[in-house]
Amino acid sequence: MTENLPISRALNAGLRRALETNDRVLLMGEDIGPLGGVFRVTEGLQKDFGPRRVIDSPLAESGIVGTAIGLAMGGFRPVLEIQFDGFVFPAFDQITSQLAKITNRHEGAVRMPVVIRIPYGGHIGAVEHHQESPEAYFTHTAGLRVVSPSNANDAYWMIQQAIDSPDPVVFLEPKAKYWQKGEVDLETPALPLHASRIVRRGTDVTLVGHGAMVTTLLQAAALAESEGTSCEVIDLRSLSPVDYGPLLDSVRRTGRMVYAQEAPGFTSLGSEIAATVMEKAFFALEAPVLRVSGFDAPFPPAKLEGTYLPDADRILEAVDRSLAY
């Protein structure tokens, strides 16, 4: 059975299913109860499951994560909502110093099945602290799993798979795509949580990205095709660990790769992907791996976000440079 849903409703359906199938799952976050969260992802869940399982928390991100750590130790599976990406930093110490390390500290005897949902990225014209791409902080932290769906079907299944994980998962939701609709298979997941996926086949250049950037890559690939260039597009899906198999297979066929991200380029996830691909597929490359990213500056005011964020034209310019080698 399939249903056409926007990503926000697919996440809602995935959370609902997790709450129904496991009574140790609970949700915590600011305004997630009667309001249903800023983006209405948890709408209706407190009404149906009660305030002891869908918990409106105080405005204290560090307290939310600290409480979740204790709940996980007690056998629960907390799913936390951070209201906006820039608000996660008050909880950064709890996440990186405690949540990520407790299982290792106890030699595997204490598991931390905590999911931290973070709406992230730009394209919504928001103010400071409401448009960030903080993925590199978390992918750099050993002990955390980091994933990001780009479509409704992945959102529905990946949130459930993240909740089932015995390890802490940072679940990055591309807020600009919350209203993007897609077909959701309500019966069978397409892929495991940490698998990357080819979303468009091509022969000349491999384009790689995650989250909202996948839509932009597909737009760029369609424009490139009209100019006679065939681009393969890969949705990374899992940022840590990275499933390099499809990336390397693709690069060995095309000989070229462009990685695109909203985050700044310096010491970013794109840096790591580029370095690894050049190490493992060096002799197949016809050109260096190129990166298209946000600029190495704080996220700008709304009127300038179109200049800051990579668009199809900037990606096509990188494709042209790659082909020119």
State the pairing for strand pair 257-264/205-209.
Answer: parallel
Which of 130, 140, 194, 210 is catalytic? The answer is 130
d(CA 286, CA 221): 19
Residues 6+ apart with CB under 8 A from 149: 7, 155, 158, 159, 173, 174, 211, 237
**Segment (H or E) for 177:** none
Query: Measuring CA to CA, which residue among 266, 258, 260, 261 is closest to residue 297?
Result: 266
Cis amide prior to 310 (ω within 30 degrees): no
d(CA 311, CA 196): 22
How many other CB atoms sit within 10 Å of the CB of residue 1?
A: 6
d(CA 239, CA 7): 19
d(CA 103, CA 105): 5
Rg (CA), the chain: 19
Q: Tell me the CA end-to-end span of the chain in Å, nearest whole number.
A: 48
Is 130 annotated as catalytic?
yes
Q: Where do we find the tokens 């560090």? A: 62
Residues 6+ apart with CB under 8 A from 189: 157, 160, 161
- Residue type, position 37, single letter: G
- Residue type, position 195, single letter: A
**Segment (H or E) for 97:** none
Annotated catalytic sites, by residue?
Answer: 130
